[in-house]
């Protein structure tokens, strides 16, 4: 069964290899906002996704992030690298497999004070089976994969 589940995810990702959104900045964006407008600080402080507000914005590496409060915006502005998601906000599991994939802001994990996103809750379940191994692979892939413009849908 596990073999079929893995094959399914690889097939879905492979089918969408040449479609996707390009990011204007260094981070994956939808609707012109990094993390689809969700507050990256909230994943650390509230341990859940929280939609940001247009009045609380901050730019980092050419991407616009939104926050649920001025306090969260200020925390991010003081140390953006601490709160910014890993691998440009792309799916960490996909990065471990060697490609960029969009994310579901609700499918996240904070590990060792770093924020990781996944394509979906189902993909996150696979990611959770070997987080250290997937992080090693994603870290090794990121320098080359970040140069690729195409994003899996």
Closest C-alpha to 116, from 149, 146, 147, 90: 90
Q: What is the pLDDT of residues 42-65, one digit of tens each?
A: 999 999 999 999 999 999 999 999
Q: Would you state the structure tokens that stand for residue 114, as one six-digit string?
A: 């770093």
Q: Quick check: is 43 in a domain?
A: yes
Q: What is the pLDDT of residues 77-136, one digit of tens each?
A: 999 999 999 999 999 999 999 999 999 999 999 999 999 999 999 999 999 999 999 999
Q: Quick check: is 153 in a domain?
A: no
Domain range enclosing 122: 2-145
Q: Quick check: is 150 in a domain?
A: no
Gap between the Cα atoms of 1 and 54, Å rounded: 44
Q: How confident is the model at residue 14 (pLDDT cuts 50, 70, 90)?
A: very low
Q: Quick check: is 151 in a domain?
A: no
Total number of domains in the chain: 1
Would you state the pLDDT for residue 12?
38
């Amino acid at each position: 069964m596990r073999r079929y589940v893995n094959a399914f995810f690889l097939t879905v990702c492979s089918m969408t290899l040449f479609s996707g959104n390009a990011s204007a900045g260094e981070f994956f964006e939808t609707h012109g906002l990094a993390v689809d407008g969700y507050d990256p600080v909230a994943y650390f402080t509230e341990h859940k996704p929280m939609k940001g507000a247009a009045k609380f914005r901050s730019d980092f590496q050419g991407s616009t992030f939104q926050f649920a409060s001025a306090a969260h915006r200020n925390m991010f502005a003081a140390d953006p690298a601490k709160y910014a998601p890993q691998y440009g906000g792309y799916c960490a599991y996909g990065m471990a497999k060697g490609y960029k994939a969009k994310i579901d802001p609700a499918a996240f994990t904070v590990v060792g004070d770093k924020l990781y996103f996944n394509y979906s809750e189902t993909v996150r379940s696979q990611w959770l089976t070997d987080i250290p191994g997937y992080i090693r692979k994603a870290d090794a892939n990121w320098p080359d994969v970040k140069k690729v413009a195409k994003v899996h849908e």
